[in-house]
Amino acid sequence: MSIPLHIRINENSYNLQVEEDETLISLLRDRLHLTGVKEGCGNGECGACAVIADGQPVRSCIILAAEMEGKSITTIEGLTETDENGNVSLSPIQKSFIEEGAVQCGFCTPGFIIAAEALFMRNSDPGDEAVKEALSGHLCRCTGYKSIFKAIDKTVKNRYKT
Amino acid sequence: MELKTVGKSITKFDAFEKVTGEAVYIADVEFPNVLHIKVVRSSVAHGRIKTVFTEDAYKTEGVRGIITGEKIDFLAGICIYDQPPLAKDRVRYIGEPVAAVVADTIAAAEKAARLVRVDYEELPHVEDPVDAAGEKAPLIHEELGSYFHLPGFNPEPGTNIFHHYHLEKGDTEKGFKNSDVIIERTYTFPHIAHAQIEPHGAIAKWSKGKELHIYSSTQGPFIVRGALSRMFNIPNNLVRVTVPYLGGGFGGKSDLTIEPLTAYAAKFFPGRWLRLILTREEMFFGSLIGRGTHSHIKMGFTRNGKLVAADVKVHLAGGAYGDYSINIVTGTGHNATGPYEIENVNIDSFGVYTNTPLVGACRGYGHPEAHWMTERTMDIAARELKTDPVKLRLKNILKPGSENNLGQIIRKSNGDLEGAIRRAVKEIQLDKREEPDNPRFAAGKSIAALMKSPVMSTNAGSSVIIRANRDGTFHLLASHVDMGQGSVTALSQIAAETLGVPVEKIHHNRGVDTEFTPYEWQTVASSTTWKAGSAVKKAAISVLERFKAIASEVFKTTPDKLTASNERIWYGRNSISFADLAEGYVFPDGHAIAGPVIGTGSIVPQGLTYPDRKTGRGELAAEWTFGCQAAEIELDKKTGRIRVKKFVTVLDAGKIINPVMARGQVEGAVVQGIGAALNETLIYSDKGRVRNSNLTDYKIPTPEDTPDEIVTVFLETPQPGGPFGARPLAEHGIVSVAPAIANALRDATGMDFYDLPLNQDRILKALYGKGEEK
């Protein structure tokens, strides 16, 4: 049975019909082709599929699309800004990930960046414990995490400088 | 000469597309007219296939075909051809592909796959490699004697031993007779999972019945091309392998994995793309796994601490097919005694078929298995000899002039192992003791030295192409797979430095396509910067030579009178820009000469040979990297949990091309090594089924598990043969993590551990139950 769904994704409004067992990741990746949302486990264990729903980080692989009625979703594709000339500017956290070498294979990267961004929405000056808490359940097999912590730390510090 | 680009932490070329979600990985590639594959896998560890019932599955809406192995008349492989792409008559592990269900949607394929019923006649199965090598073990491959294998491998038909590597040096009998202290121990390293965050995938299509195009998340596109070409008896140039962005490899995506199966199934649906993306669960048994050694070591020392004899037996549980672990057998063998000079050595390393998933390359393979026993044993020996473990190591290490097990003479340019050990001791402050205030905790510190060579084929070649463009920019084309290690950036730095242009002027291909990018053996063994980097340097030099040849016609002189600098070719005070030479030179009257400039560079590791059949010695290692690691840990005696407070790695990797990326490689390897040391192990049921095939039950390190402090130090003794003095670096950070931690645990508790992982269960049992101290 299909269900109507009104949803905003990366600032665009959609009126869709979704199946009752359709996951949010399936809607985002398979139907809307937002492939920056990564599927690493399909079971909520790795965090690669994280998106922001009304300011909260959610695992899109274990949440139904139908539950997102009326919500506003941000995926990794929604973090950059493009000006009228087509110039893309990265968000501060994206820049820090590049500068601190926090990106290796890149598969977990969208999930980590989304987790950090969602944290900043709730807490503009998170301490180490809040950062660890926000990243818990996100897995990276390449970096050993140090550079990811550095990138987040740098973003927090830069905010206070500017 | 001052370096402008090499040695600088240039930010990763492909980071932008990874932080924005633009980067396209295998599961993101979309095709028209695609069909989906779901694999039906064996539910028994060893058995004969009696019947495959597919009628019910066929009735599922959307099913287009069910492929089984009964008609397969070839075996796939690289080093030993021992595996059909789908099981034929016989299954040898739980998870082995028995049928491929092909359907319009993945949901339909999954639904139908559940309806395929397979009846088996079960046979006795064996998981332990020592048992499997014994006379009473069920024979897993009766046909072993008929399998094709490359020279340098030594199967023992009539047993489960698919490769026996034997190495001997000197006379161990005499060596042990002259020993005052002999230490003998047995160690195990369990099967572990690579747990790359990206699941493996392949998408294949046949055209005209004889052309195959396959997309795959592989580390070895040319390996895949060669194997598929042989399997299907089609020419190399009609097999095209495309690799998109790769989400982590660690060896688990090297050699062959799911490509033969995907290509075989696709053959029945010409003109259509067939897509197979493994689930997370399948990643634990449907691709490759790692390690799995049982090792026995005996080391003999004189009273004053000279290591004079070593006898080692290693059994590797290679899984149901041996092709992908066969090189690990040799690698573990010749590295078995670690970075020490020993006069008398006898080593037997056995690759053994077991009824388990297939072992393949896994970050640093051969070396962590070897150092787990050697570096533990050195600490134990120091105690028995009542000497300092650092001193004992320094007395016996390989240094310039030493002869290693293979008969190679170590040169100064191989690096400064003594310096690395001394630096690690200093960084961890080994002489400083800080006992925790709370008696619930115990603290320990220790070190473990290491060496590593790239274990590779004797003809593991690299080739690259550099194209010059009209505006003074360049294309660098190469087929190494950048799976996060940063080789696209590092090789661009080498190209820029050699050409003398800003690194921004180099564009390196992302992803690999065997149709367009030149031959590369495969991206394994920490070898790309060193090996493909040498080819890049050659290609850049050939571009400069071409520029000079053209300019010499303009200046009416000979090329040797010309120099290159500041992106121009100079003749005295006159010069022509690279840009004006890139497509050949155009004279003021319009007439042109020479045409577009392309430079190429090809290399093969120098002087590698197969091992001598009798002694196992020879040029098996093209290069060596030495180092030392050190751990500071705290044990919670109540929970049995180890916290790694500080972890130090000192490596002499020659010239570091990109410090931030080099550190990233080491830090990642260290934390992966900590996972294997403390937690990771595949758990088998009595029936031989992997019981923890998910990321909740197979715990890899999380952000909270990273040490408080990771220290990485590079010594930079230049390697004359490497590009700008670089030698192999990447996996080295994983090699001695487990022994460094276990040695520190001994320091903290007075207890010796010989089996991994050092998880809470094992430690609590040792502390409060039956002790493990031997």
User: What is the 3-state secondary structure of B399-452?
Assistant: CCCCECCCCCECCHHHCCHHHHHHHHHHHHCCCCCCCCCCCCEEEEEEEEEEEE
Assess B14–A contact: CB distance below 8 Å, yes or no: yes
Q: What residue ranges of chain B have pLDDT lower than 50?
A: 771-774
Q: Do A144 and B20 touch (CB under 8 A)?
A: no
Residue A71 shares a structural domain with residue A90: no
> Cα(B278)–Cα(B280) distance, rounded to whole angstroms?
7
Are A85 and A143 in the same domain?
yes
Q: CB-based contact (8 Å) between B132 and chain A?
A: no
Which of B246, B660, B669 lies nearest to residue A101, judging by beta carbons? B660
Phi, psi of B686, rounded to the nearest 5 degrees: -55, -30
DSSP B200: P
Say whether residue B27 is in contact with chain A using an 8 A CB cutoff.
yes
pLDDT tens figures, A109-144: 999 999 999 999 999 899 999 999 999 999 999 999
- A90 with A113, same domain? yes
Bridge pairing between strands B307-319 and B344-353: parallel
Residues written for chain B: 774
Q: How many domains does the structure of chain A reveal? A: 2
CB pair distance less than 8 Å for A94 and B30:
no
Taking an 8 Å cut-off on Cβ atoms, the answer to whether A40 and B199 are in contact is yes
What 3-state class would DSSP assign to B35?
strand
Nearest by CB to B15, which of A45, A103, A110?
A: A103
Same domain, A67 and A114: no
The reply to whether A59 and A101 lie within a common domain is no
B248 touches chain A (CB under 8 A): yes
- Residues from chain A that touch B12, judged by Cβ atoms under 8 A, are 98, 101, 103
In this structure, the answer to whether residues A118 and A137 fall within a common structural domain is yes
In this structure, is the dihedral angle defined by the CA atoms of residues A157, B8, A139 and B731, taken in order, positive or negative? Answer: negative
Across the interface, whether the CB atoms of B280 and A132 are under 8 A apart is answered: no
For residues A34-52, average pLDDT: 98
The rounded distance, in Å, linking the Cα atoms of B73 and B83 is: 11
Hey, is the C-beta of A159 within 8 angstroms of any chain B C-beta?
no
- The reply to whether A50 touches chain B by the CB within 8 Å rule is no
**Which residues of chain B make contact with A88, given a CB cutoff of 8 A?**
20
Q: Taking the domain B31-123+200-277, which CATH number applies?
A: 3.90.1170.50
Of A78, A112, A146, the domain-final residue = A78
Q: Please state which CATH number belongs to domain B290-456+610-768.
A: 3.30.365.10
Query: Residue B710 and residue A79: Cβ atoms within 8 Å?
Result: no
Angstroms from A84 CA to nearest CA on chain B: 19
**In a shared domain, residues A54 and A91:** no
Residues A100, A42, single domain; the answer is no
B483 vs A39: CB contact, 8 Å cut-off?
no
Domain boundaries B15-22+459-603, corresponding CATH code: 3.30.365.10
Cβ <8 Å between B671 and A144: yes
Say if A88 is an interface residue toward chain B (CB within 8 Å).
yes
Query: Which residue of B30, B484, B696 is in closest CB contact with A142?
Result: B484
Domain boundary among A63, A78, A93: A78
**Of A17, A49, A78, which marks where a domain is finished?**
A78
Q: Do the Cβ atoms of B20 and A135 come within 8 Å?
A: no
Residue A128's identity, in one-letter code, is D
* A44 and A98 assigned to the same domain: no
- Show residues of chain B in contact with A40, CB under 8 Å: 197-199, 280
ipTM of the complex: 0.98
Are A88 and A68 in the same domain?
Answer: no
Contact criterion met (CB < 8 Å) for B670 and A144: yes
Nearest residue in A to B731, CA atom: A142
Token pair 């057998």: residue? B329
**Smallest Cβ distance to A141: which of B21, B486, B672?**
B672
Task: Judge whether B202 is closer than 8 Å to chain A, CB to CB.
Answer: no
Any idea what the Cα angle at residue B761 is, between residues B759 and B767, rounded to 5°?
100
* SS3 of residue B47 by DSSP: strand
Proportion of chain B in helix, strand, coil states, percent, rounded to 5: 30, 30, 45
Of the residues A30, A81, A94, A103, the best mutation for testing chain B's interface (the one with the most B CB atoms within 10 Å of its CB) is A103
Looking at the complex, does the CB of residue B677 fall below 8 Å from at least one CB of chain A?
no
> Which pLDDT value is given to residue B455?
84
Q: Which residues contact B61 (CB under 8 A, 6 or more apart)?
A: B108
Q: A45 is in which domain, residue-wise?
A: 2-78
Q: A46, A88, A146: which to substitute to probe chain B, counting the most B Cβ within 10 Å?
A: A146
* Identity of the residue in A41, A105, A132 whose CB atom sits nearest the CB atom of B248: A105
**Contact (Cβ atoms closer than 8 angstroms) between residue B85 and residue B202:** no
Give the domain CATH number at A32.
Answer: 3.10.20.30
- Domain range summary for chain B, segments of one domain joined by +: 15-22+459-603, 31-123+200-277, 290-456+610-768
- Using a 10 angstrom Cβ sphere, with 0-12 exposed, 13-18 middle and 19 or more buried, the burial of residue B233 is exposed
Nearest CA-CA partner of B278 in B232, B255, B247, B250: B247
Q: Please state, in angstroms and as integers, the Cα–Cα distance from residue B105 to each residue in A1, A145, B57, following that order.
A: 18, 37, 14
Is the domain of A156 the same as that of A121? yes
Same fold for the pair B15-22+459-603 and B290-456+610-768: yes
Whether chain A has a CB inside 8 Å of the CB on B196: the answer is yes
How far is Cα A57 from Cα A123, in angstroms, rounded to an integer?
13
Question: Given an 8 Å threshold on Cβ–Cβ distance, is B198 in contact with A105?
Answer: yes
Residues 275-314 of B with CB under 8 A from A: 279-280
Helix (H), strand (E), coil (C) string for B163-196: EEEEEEECCHHHHHHCCCEEEEEEEEEEEECCCC
Size of interface A-B (CB pairs under 8 A): 168
Of the candidates B322, B320, B351, the one whose C-alpha atom is nearest the C-alpha of residue B98 is B320
Q: Which residues of chain A have a CB within 8 Å of the CB of B710?
A: 144, 146
Same domain, A117 and A131: yes
Closest Cα of chain B to A96: distance in Å?
10
Which pLDDT score, from 0 to 100, does residue B774 have? 42
Among B248, B661, B695, whose Cβ lies nearest the Cβ of A41? B695
Polymer length of chain A = 162
On whether the CB atoms of residues B523 and B454 are closer than 8 A, the answer is no
Residues of A in contact with B198 (CB under 8 A): 38, 40, 105, 107
Instruction: Please name the residue of chain B whose CA is at the shortest distance from the CA of residue A93.
Output: B19
Give me the residue from A45, A107, A144 closest to B25, CB to CB: A107
Is A116 in the B-facing interface, judged by CB distances under 8 Å? no
In this complex, do B668 and A142 lie within 8 Å of one another by their Cβ atoms?
A: yes
* Coil, helix or strand at residue B481: coil
Nearest-Cα distance to chain B for A87, in Å, is: 14
Looking up residue A132, the CATH number of its domain turns out to be 1.10.150.120
- Interface subset of B 33-72, CB within 8 angstroms of A: none
Residues of chain B found within 8 Å of residue A42, distances taken between Cβ atoms = 279-280
